[in-house]
Amino acid sequence: MANQPLISVTCNTRNRVVWLKQALESVLRQRDVELELIVIDDHSTDETKGYLDYLANSDSRVRVITNPEQLGIAASANRSLNRARGQYIAKIDDDDYWIDDAKLKKQIAFLEEHPDYVVVGTGVRIVNEQGRPLRDLVRKETDREIRAGMLAANRITNSTAVFRRDAALAIGGYDPRYRVASDYEFYLKLGRVGKMHNLPDICVAYRVSSGAITQTLSRAKRFALHREYLKNYRNDYPYYYRALFIRTLRYLLGQ
């Protein structure tokens, strides 16, 4: 790779090669930006390795890192963060894909114009497993609006996020203690050191999948995990008791 990339796009994957192809191809279609694509293969046992070898051989922007054993999402995310060369980091989950070829250009422009912001997301188009659109979701845009709801739920969709690499390293990256929802905890932590924003543009297709890793936890364990996040960040974000009420009500209603 001759040029230093301005942005490193990182993707963790394990055994989802069919969806992975669509995700990575959508990244490589991005216009007017110097990027590298770092894919962490978390010890896949399907055809992922063959596809990634082919992709890396055909596009010099692609770098593949294979875990010698399954490390999980947070540890894999830290591997890509530490290997990244870009000033900015973009995330994409292996079952999502980008639908705006100018996504990165728009987000980088925002961060370069607003040095006090550490992360910027976008809106999403929610799709089913076959990619059929269900509805569009425009996220709350301003830092104040995002913070007001951050304890109740993550307001930065992971596959939309672009953040400053130096800020991510300063907070210690992802916490490997959290096997699921580590991205939510990461953005809560990132919000301690700078402002957050969401562009109103619908730039990402977010796939609703029955195989989502969060679903591997029971409702009770998911509720306990969220209670832990609330406790850890209650002094950093407003409306703690409102968030606690919302999460408790959702748990009682079976949501």
pLDDT of residue 98 exceeding 50, the answer is yes
Residue 228: what pLDDT? Answer: 96
Domains of the chain listed by start with CATH number: 7-252 (3.90.550.10)
How many angstroms separate the CA atoms of 199 and 148, rounded? 17
Residue 2 has pLDDT above 60, yes or no: no
- Tell whether the model's pLDDT for residue 1 goes beyond 50: no
Q: What is the pLDDT of residue 210?
A: 67
Name residues whose C-beta falls within 8 Å of residue 137's C-beta, 6 or more positions apart in sequence. 123, 124, 125, 126, 206
Position 180 confidence tier, pLDDT thresholds 50, 70, 90: confident
Q: Is the distance from CB of 152 to CB of 243 less than 8 angstroms?
A: yes
pLDDT tens profile 29-80: 999 999 999 999 999 999 999 999 999 999 999 999 999 999 999 999 999 9
Please report which confidence band the pLDDT of residue 255 belongs to, taking 50, 70 and 90 as the band edges.
confident
Q: Which residues contact 131 (CB under 8 A, 6 or more apart)?
A: 22, 205, 207
Distance CA 204, CA 159 (A): 7
Higher-scoring residue by pLDDT: 2, 5 = 5
Asked if the model's pLDDT at residue 159 lies above 60, the reply is yes
Q: Is the pLDDT of residue 26 over 50?
A: yes
Q: Which amino acid would we find at residue 146?
A: I
Asked whether the predicted pLDDT for residue 23 surpasses 70, the reply is yes
Answer yes or no: are the C-beta atoms of 95 and 19 closer than 8 Å: yes
The rounded percent of the chain whose pLDDT value lies above 70 is 96
Mean pLDDT of 209-231: 80
State how far Cα 226 lies from the chain centre.
18
Whether residue 133 is predicted with pLDDT greater than 90 in this model: the reply is: yes
DSSP string, 170-196: HTTS--TT-SSSHHHHHHHHHTTSSEE
**Helices 219-233 and 182-190, axial angle in degrees (round to 10):** 10
Task: Provide mean pLDDT across the span 178-194.
Answer: 95
Q: What's the pLDDT at 219?
A: 86
Per-residue pLDDT at 197: 98
Least confident span in 2-11, 59-68, 159-168, 209-218: 209-218
Whole-angstrom distance, CA of residue 16 vs CA of residue 24: 12
- 81-86 average pLDDT score: 97
Q: Is the pLDDT of residue 206 over 80?
A: yes
**pLDDT, mean over the chain:** 95
